[in-house]
Amino acid sequence: MSNTEMKPGRFLRFARCRAIVARIQNHLRAGGTVVIGTQTRATRFSPKHCEMFRATKGGAYFRSGKNWVCFDEGLEYRMVGIAFSN
C-alpha cells in the first residue's frame, strides 16, 4: 500500500486519545485530581489512580473494576466532561 492509498487521518483517534491520557496522567502525577463525568455519573481520580488510564487505537479508557470504560467518544458529542483540579 502506498501513501496515496492510505486513509487520511486513520490514526487520528489514537493520537487524540494518547494526548488526552498523557494530559490526565501528567496532571495526576503532579498531585492533582481529575473528574470524568458522564450523563449518569462522575468519577473522581486521585494521584494513586494514575495507571488506570490507557489509550489504544479503539479509544481512551479508564479502569472500572474489572472492566475498561471508553470515554473519548463522548468528548466529541459533549456527553463526557473532564475537569482538572489541584
Tens of pLDDT along 9-41? Answer: 778 889 999 999 999 999 999 999 999 987 788
Q: What is the pLDDT of residue 79?
A: 78
Q: What is the pLDDT of residue 5?
A: 73
Q: What's the length of the chain? A: 86
The number of beta carbons lying within 10 Å of the beta carbon of residue 66 is 5
String of DSSP letters for the chain:
--GGGSPTTTTHHHHHHHHHHHHHHHHHHTT-EEEEE-SS-EEEE-GGGGGGEEEETTEEEEEETTEEEE-SHHHHTT--EEEEE-
Which residue's entry shows cell 483540579?
85
| Digit-coded pLDDT (tens) for 41-54 | 899 999 999 999 99
Q: What is the pLDDT of residue 86?
A: 84
Would you list the domain boundaries of the chain?
9-85
Q: What is the pLDDT of residue 6?
A: 73
